[in-house]
Amino acid sequence: MKFLKYVLICLIALLFIFLAVTYFIPFERYIPEVERVISALVERPVRIERLKIELLPAPHLHIEGVTVGRVGEVKLGTLEVGFDANSLFHSQCVVSLVAIERGELDEGAVTELFEWLMSPVPTVQEPVYCRVERLDFKGFRLEVSDMPLDGVAGTVLFTANNDPDLISLHVPLFDLTAEVKPRPDGTFHVVATTPGWAVPDIPDMQLEGIKAIGDISDTDFDIQELSGKLMGVTLRGKARLHWEPEWELSGAVNIAGSNVSHAIKALDERVIGFGSLQGHGVFHSHGATPDALVEHLVMDADVKSTDFSLQIEPRAKQPLKLEQLNTHIAYTPDAIRLQQMDAKLAGGTLKGAMTLLPATSIFRFDLSPKGVHPQPIVRAVDDGLLLSGVLDANVKGSINLDHLRDFPRESRIEGKFTIRHGELGESKLVEAVNSNIPKTQEKKIQFDQISSDILVDNAGFQLSKLKIVASVFNAEGNLSISSQEQLDGVLGMDLKGMAGLVSFPLRVSGSLDSPVVRPTGGVMAGAAIGTALLGPVGAAIGIRAGPLIDRVWGKKANTPASGVVPDGKGGATQGVVPPAH
């Protein structure tokens, strides 16, 4: 036992002596010879700053500061070259692992590396005296066509003849991961994935779960399978990417989705959704660099959807809903256009076009709803207002989405509308109007028709050429609602069932929460004078003379500032609405 103990002690001592000797041996003296051999192999000058052999945890070379080329085509930080210990006693050595940390390849080196990888495998293989099994690298910078790639990492597995067998890459710039399988003819089979990619200036155009499967040659990337998701919608198609003589991208994609709900950042997180969506589109782009492909991307698609919904007012209990929406989508980096819109909305139809300008956050539209029930539209904005009937309208304008919370700032909408056979109620303004008219219900107005021109701008909402044909009265006039919800306007009223004796203007003021609707000062004065002279009949005559009295007195506060001019018959005619400033 003592003999074995002494032998073990001696072996351990010899091991420590061997490790110490390898640590203190000046391997730097061999650097020039190593540089000469490697330079001859790669046909370029090679410089090495430091070289040593380490035995633990396994025998390996430690190399630092490698430079290839006279102007630094390739720079490598640290290399660890590990050997298979068993192979050291055979005719063929085996390098189990080459690990490189930090490196730089200029554009020429990247091009040459790609050309070498693309070269066909020789049919006759030369003997391999030292076989490499695996190469790991991380922290690399690649200069590629005005688009430097930093932090590139990956792994290369080699065949028995030192040809690449499988290449794994990760490019942080695109969060791109790729598995590349070289083929004998010099092409590659590629499976590339990225968790997401955002279209510039459009935060909602976030492509997710992108996957591309195809073959790379020396001139293009033929993508046989392309898939991903956009706002919960599945995209599947094919594409081809060329880079000779310039970068060019083209392809086609099928669009499908169901039961999707998505918050739109450009609309202050308002939610859109749909029950189902189907479509087909094509896209193409070109440019001198890969960045130019994004700048010049153009896409056209025809889509059909059902149960489309859009949250207009977050405080409203229900969104705006379209039973069906068919449209052509045209995308360019400058604009997203919905053209040839054909939708079913609240029992009617909606036709027109819409455009979003991402750079300025401007949303433009030109829409024509026909035969639409207005109540569902109103409920998407105001839960309290009653407005039934059948709506026909033509409206166009633009909205600045950056100021959506303080709408209508920097927005402008104009158009005309007519609503037939409905009710208007559940509004303090309606109650205030009804308080001046006998034989009306307090909460609502039943009407045969309401029509008006509408203008929405920085000043607020302006209704001009407003006409109401109700069950107990007719009215014409103008009404404005400021951006602070202040009211201003005059309505020329003709009461029905009064033998044509009662026609008078009502002044509208106050606010939406506290409206004030009462006859003008001239009407009140005329009624008082007529009553004093002729009794009840005189009161009616005095009311009819009210607009004339307003005009004679010249009281601007009691004249129709919004464009209503007394007609001398107790009614009103339309003037010109002054432009908004």
Q: Are 449 and 418 in contact (CB under 8 A)?
A: yes
pLDDT of residue 129: 65
The pLDDT score that the predictor gives to residue 520 is 58
Strand partners, 418: 392, 451
Q: Is residue 317 part of a domain?
A: no
Evaluate whether residue 146 is within a structural domain: yes
Question: Is 377 inside a domain boundary?
Answer: no
Q: Tell me the average pLDDT across 84-93.
A: 66
Tens digits of residue pLDDT in 487-514 = 999 888 887 765 555 677 888 999 988 9
CA separation for the pair 291, 297 (Å, rounded) = 10
Residue 556: per-residue pLDDT: 45
Phi, psi of 406 (to 5 degrees): -115, 40
CA pair distance 325, 307, nearest whole angstrom: 8
When pLDDT is cut at 50, 70 and 90, the band that residue 159 belongs to is confident
Taking Cα atoms as reference points, which of 509, 464, 505, 463 lies closest to residue 485?
A: 509
pLDDT confidence bin for 128, thresholds 50/70/90? low
With respect to residue 294, please indicate whether it lies within any of the assigned structural domains.
no
Under DSSP, is residue 200 helix (H, G, I), strand (E, B) or coil?
coil
Judge whether 250 and 284 are in contact, CB under 8 Å: yes
Report cis status (omega within 30 of 0) of the bond before 127. no
Average pLDDT rounded to a whole number, residues 434-457: 84
Instruction: Give residue 7's pLDDT.
Output: 39
pTM (2 d.p.): 0.72
Q: What is the dihedral of CA 341, 344, 349, 350, to 10 degrees?
A: -30
User: Tell me: the pLDDT tens digits for 245-286?
Assistant: 888 999 999 999 999 887 877 677 778 888 999 999 999 999
What average pLDDT does range 125-142 have in this prediction?
Answer: 78
Rounded to an integer, the average pLDDT of 420-425 is: 93
Asked whether residue 363 is assigned to any structural domain, the reply reads no
pLDDT at residue number 119: 60
Instruction: Tell which of 112, 139, 173 closes a domain.
Output: 173
pLDDT above 70 (res 298): yes
Average pLDDT for 438-446: 73
Residue 579, preceding peptide bond in cis (omega within 30° of 0): no
Mean pLDDT of the chain: 79
What was the pLDDT predicted at 189?
A: 95
- Show the domain range for 543: 513-548
Is 72 contained in some domain?
Answer: yes
Among candidate residues 440, 406, 411, 408, the one with its CA nearest the CA of residue 423? 440
**Is residue 11 over pLDDT 50?**
no
The pLDDT confidence band at residue 201, using thresholds 50, 70 and 90, is low
Residue 47 lies in a domain: yes
Answer for the pair 189, 183: CB distance below 8 angstroms, yes or no.
yes
Cα 88 to chain centroid, rounded: 60
Identify the weakest region by mean pLDDT among 55-69, 156-170, 403-417.
55-69
Structural domains in the chain (count)? 2
Query: Is residue 126 assigned to a domain?
Result: yes
Residue 561 pLDDT exceeds 50: no
Of 173, 190, 214, the residue that ends a domain is: 173
Q: Which residues pair with 281 in a beta bridge?
A: 253, 301
For the stretch 33-59, pLDDT in tens is: 777 766 765 667 888 888 877 666 666
Look-up: residue for tokens 């590349």? 180
Nearest to 466 by CA among 447, 483, 441: 447
- In DSSP notation, 430-476 reads HHHHHTTSTT--SSEEEEEEEEEEEEEETTEEEEEEEEEEESSEEEE
C-alpha dihedral (257, 259, 263, 264), degrees to nearest 10? 40
Percent of the chain scoring above 70 in pLDDT: 73
Q: What does the H/E/C string look like for 284-340?
A: EEEECCHHHHHHCCEEEEEEEEEEEEECCCCCCCCCEEEEEEEEEEEEECCEEEEEE
